[in-house]
Structure 1
Amino acid sequence: MANAMTGWPGEPGFDEITATRQWLGKRGVEVGEPSRLLAARVGARLSRRTPGRFRWLAGAAVLSVLLGMAAGAVGLSGNGILLGLICASLEVALWLSYQHRERALGPLPVMDRRSGRPSAFAILGGWYVASFVITFGGGAALAAVIHLTTPAKAYAWGLAALLGWAALCCAVILIGTLRRPVYADDTASAAVDTELRVLDSQAALPGFYPVIVLYDMAVGDQVPAEFTGWLIAYAVLAFGTTVIGVWRHHRRPALPPGDYGTPVQVSS
């Protein structure tokens, strides 16, 4: 891989190559040096020193603070609103930093634009889909009932605003991840493409946001007392299904045999 170890513009850096080698090793593939395509894709996600990532995260934090100030200005209540806005914005900014780094390393080969993509359910899994429905569908229903049956109108609108922004951020990540082409030039890189779809989907963690409801309860922030039990059950169900879904993602099969880079040199 010419110039890969130098960190020149347009080439994966040393940290990205190392992160890719380690990721492949955990999936049963030992290489001396990964292929450039894999280093560009895996390294962009797992390297701790990916160029430009801090700028994306800082921009997301600033945007979240501005959104939180706007929410306060229109009278929405809930100390968890700002925390939730920040977390959702950071999730999508982290995902966008992956895409930006991939583009900076040059055009990626496209094996298939539609028919070869794995299905959304195969990538996400049933537990993840359940957590998404519980978090946003169940949360919207709770916010509506709180608004209609209690005086805590501002809290209900605040909860709806938080979940609406989180749903938008998660949707950006999931739609972009599931609908993108298969970036690969052989069966090995196609298998890695599938695994990276799974990894990218985990940038959106819907079940985290109902836990913020428990934070509001802890600080006594206008949570209707009669809904305490319902909100706790909502948070436990949403977070629990998310945890199970992520755990099942980690039980992925080993990568199939193929060309993943320079083989490890075995000394005689």
Structure 2
Amino acid sequence: MTIFVTTPFRTYAWSWLGLLALGGVVTAVVLTGILRRPVIAEDETSLTVDAAVRLQDLRIPMPAVYAVPVAFDPMTGNAQPSGYAPWLIGYASLAVVTQAVAGFVSWRRSRAILSGA
């Protein structure tokens, strides 16, 4: 949004905002489907399996994937306004690191559920 307001690169800013919005919509649709899905469990064991499968399914959307293309502009074509390259790379890095931390926490939680802890 800052690029849109402070520079003449309006189309550039709208295209990245559109990609960010698309990622948000896809993530919201997938997460809503997972979280609103009915629990299928007949006993304690099947409830544990259902919980583990839900945790595994939450890894599907991977919203960081929508931030990675932002890093390609500074590395290849320099189409971004001057001075914004570090911010764009920082944004993409933050998204990927956050996704990696969330994946690691989810993986540990899945292991704890499957081991019965």
Please say whether Structure 1 and Structure 2 have the same fold, judged by a TM-score greater than 0.5.
yes
* Alpha-carbon separation, structure 2, partners of 1:210 and 1:224: 18
Query: Is the counterpart of residue 200 in structure 1 residue 57 in structure 2?
Result: yes
Instruction: State the superposition RMSD in angstroms.
Output: 1.3
Name whichever structure is richer in strand by fraction. Answer: 1
- The amino acid across from 1:159 in the alignment is W
- 2:47 maps to what in 1? 190
- 1:156 maps to what in 2? 13
* Alpha-carbon separation, structure 2, partners of 1:172 and 1:210: 18
1:149-203 superposed Cα distances (whole Å, 9 cap, x missing partner): 0111111000011111111111111011012111111111111111111111100
1:54-112 superposed Cα distances (whole Å, 9 cap, x missing partner): xxxxxxxxxxxxxxxxxxxxxxxxxxxxxxxxxxxxxxxxxxxxxxxxxxxxxxxxxxx
Q: How does 1:103-142 map to 2 (within 5 A)?
A: none
- 1:165 maps to what in 2? 22
Deviant stretches of 4+, over 4 Å: none
- The amino acid across from 1:223 in the alignment is Q
- 1:178 maps to what in 2? 35
- The amino acid across from 2:6 in the alignment is T
* Alpha-carbon separation, structure 1, partners of 2:8 and 2:79: 10
SS state of the match for residue 80, structure 2? coil
CA positional deviation for 1:246: 0.4
- 2:104 maps to what in 1? 247
Q: How does 1:28-39 map to 2 (within 5 A)?
A: none
- The amino acid across from 2:28 in the alignment is A
Query: Is the counterpart of residue 236 in structure 1 residue 89 in structure 2?
Result: no
- The amino acid across from 1:208 in the alignment is V
CA contact (8 A) 1:210 1:235 kept: yes
Name whichever structure is richer in helix by fraction. Answer: 2
Tell me, which stretches of 5 or more residues in structure 2 are unaligned? none
- The amino acid across from 1:173 in the alignment is V
Query: Is the counterpart of residue 217 in structure 1 residue 77 in structure 2?
Result: no
CA positional deviation for 1:209: 1.8
Q: TM-score, normalised by structure 1?
A: 0.40
The alignment covers a number of residue pairs equal to 113
CA positional deviation for 1:218: 2.2
* Alpha-carbon separation, structure 2, partners of 1:209 and 1:186: 39
Tell me, which stretches of 5 or more residues in structure 1 are unaligned? 1-143, 257-268
